[in-house]
Amino acid sequence: MKKGLAGVVVDYTAVSKVNPDTNSLLYRGYPVQELAAKCSFEQVAYLLWNGELPNEAQLAEFTARERAGRALDPALRLIIDALPEDGHPMDVCRTAASILGARHELTGDSSPEANMKKAIDLWAAMPAVVAFDQRRRHGLDLVEPREDLDYSANFLWMTFGEDPVDEVVEAFNVSMILYAEHSFNASTFSARVVTSTLSDLHSAVTAAIGALKGPLHGGANEAVMHTFDEIGIRSEEAMEEAAVRARAWMEDALAQKKKVMGFGHRVYKHGDSRVTTMKAALDKMIAHYGRHELLGLYNGLELAMDEAKAIKPNLDYPAGPTYHLMGFDTPTFTPIFVASRITGWTAHIMEQLASNSLIRPLSEYNGHEQRPV
């Protein structure tokens, strides 16, 4: 038996390759670091779905389709408005994916063409959901999308209602690319399990959102910020002092055998391939906003964890404080991950359908022996 399916290979995939030995991650053969440095999130989404990067004409057509699908569906808006403001934004995302599926013009059609359209439409629609939900929790109105902005810039625009600064857009774009895809992680695998029953794309994505919400998976980026808050963010504090307090917090947490979110990984045991790139984006945001005390907290926790257990940070660790600096509220962090990972999930859904076999493992029974009623 392999508890948690650790180390078990269950199928082929051509979407991405995670190699913990070389600490590399390839999307359709391209190193993710190179994609993050040279591409827009739109180019990467196209790559994940089509297997190749787009040429100029393909990219123009693709971005036009995405931009045409950005507005918040009025019927969905009414439903979001009816959800409690103190509920979790991941519940809003999950509900939105389900409603958008039920209302999609091609609902009931799971042909490759219909699924590609559904994937693009869902990806295009999600920033409006996430941005509107953050705004309504702060008593603010919906901001309409702008067709002159790319996906990342428009996401920031719809959240904050201000012209986004190029440096911030760049860091956000990097995070979207890094979060887009990671082989058979728990949420992607959930999507594939649902798809393997020949259920529909939106049902599979809804299940994936449920899996991503947990703190052992995508919910960790939110949990990282809770750790920072628990240690205490003091904006005027010197970096070194913040680091000392963070180290003490970590030593105490580990002495109590706590799991600290944002560290460790099921596949990478010597560090997550994406962290260096995301940390560079965080460093830029720390310099941009002049918040070096956050770097102190970041370094203090990382060093103390490394010394005590040699466990390295995962992508959620630098992503959490990056989103905090940009002005997202903490429960919005995992919904941002959703908007990005829709690309990877749906690429896997289409791949699963193209070569399907029902996913149904076995279990070892350890309950009562047979007994009479």
Ligand X SMILES: CC(=O)SCCNC(=O)CCNC(=O)[C@H](O)C(C)(C)COP(=O)(O)OP(=O)(O)OC[C@H]1O[C@@H](n2cnc3c(N)ncnc32)[C@H](O)[C@@H]1OP(=O)(O)O
Active site members? 217, 265, 316
For residue 17, state whether it binds ligand OAA (rule: CB under 6 A). Answer: no
Residue 182 binds to ligand OAA (criterion: CB under 6 A) = yes
Q: Which partner from the list ligand OAA, ligand X, none does 264 bind, CB cut-off 5 to 8 Å by kind?
A: ligand X
Fill in the DSSP letter of residue 73: P
Residue 301's CB is within 10 A of a number of other CB atoms, namely: 25
> Minimum distance between the CB of residue 268 and ligand OAA, rounded to whole angstroms?
8
Instruction: Render the burial of 239-269: b for 16+ CB within 10 Å, e for the rest.
Output: beebbebbbebbeebbeeeeebbbbbbbbbe
Site string for ligand OAA, 278-317 (x = CB under 6 A): ------------------------------------xx--
CB closer to ligand OAA out of 266 and 284: 266
CB of 267 to ligand X, least distance (A): 8
Using CB under 6 A as the binding rule, whether residue 267 contacts ligand OAA is answered as: yes
Report the chain's terminal Cα–Cα distance, integer Å: 30
Q: How far is CA 121 from CA 63, 143, 172, 295, in A?
A: 12, 19, 21, 38
Amino acid present at 324: H
Among ligand X, ligand OAA, none, the one that 106 touches (CB under a kind-dependent 5 to 8 A) is: none
Write down the least CB distance from residue 213 to ligand OAA, Å. 13
Q: In sequence order, what are the residues at sequence separation of 6 or more whose Cβ sits closer than 8 angstroms to the Cβ of residue 121?
A: 69, 100, 104
Q: DSSP characters for 16-62?
A: EEEETTTTEEEETTEEHHHHHHH--HHHHHHHHHHSS---HHHHHHH
Q: CA–CA separation, 219 vs 223, rounded Å?
A: 6
Choose the binding region for ligand OAA from 2-10, 68-76, 90-98, 260-268 (rule: CB under 6 A): 260-268
Q: Is 26 a residue that touches ligand OAA (CB under 6 A)?
A: no
Read out DSSP for 277-327?
HHHHHHHHHHHHHT-HHHHHHHHHHHHHHHHHH-PPB-THHHHHHHHHHHT
**Residues 108-167 contacting ligand X, CB under 6 A:** none
Binding segment (CB under 6 A) for ligand OAA, from list 24-32, 265-273, 297-305, 352-360: 265-273
Quote the CA–CA distance of 63 and 39 in Å, as a whole number: 13
Residue among 115 and 322 whose Cβ is closer to ligand X: 322
Contacting range for ligand X; rule: CB under 6 A; set: 165-173, 199-207, 311-319, 345-353: 311-319
Contact 190, 347 (CB under 8 A): no
User: Which of 63, 273, 314, 346 is close enough to bind ligand X by CB under 6 A?
Assistant: 314
In the list 76, 92, 171, 220, the residue contacting ligand X (rule: CB under 6 A) is 220
CB of 242 to ligand OAA, least distance (A): 27
Q: Is 168:285 a contact under the CB 8 Å cutoff?
A: yes
Nearer to ligand X, 54 or 262 (CB): 262
Selected from 185, 190, 203, 332, the binder of ligand OAA by CB under 6 A is 185
Is residue 359 classed as helix, strand or coil in its secondary structure?
A: coil
How far, in whole angstroms, is CA 303 from its chain's centroid? 25
Q: Is 270 in the site for ligand X (CB under 6 A)?
A: no
Interface stretch with ligand OAA, choices 30-38, 82-90, 263-271, 278-286 (CB under 6 A): 263-271
Binding site for ligand X (CB under 6 A): 4, 216-218, 220, 259-266, 309, 311, 314-316
Binding site for ligand OAA (CB under 6 A): 182, 185, 265-267, 314-315
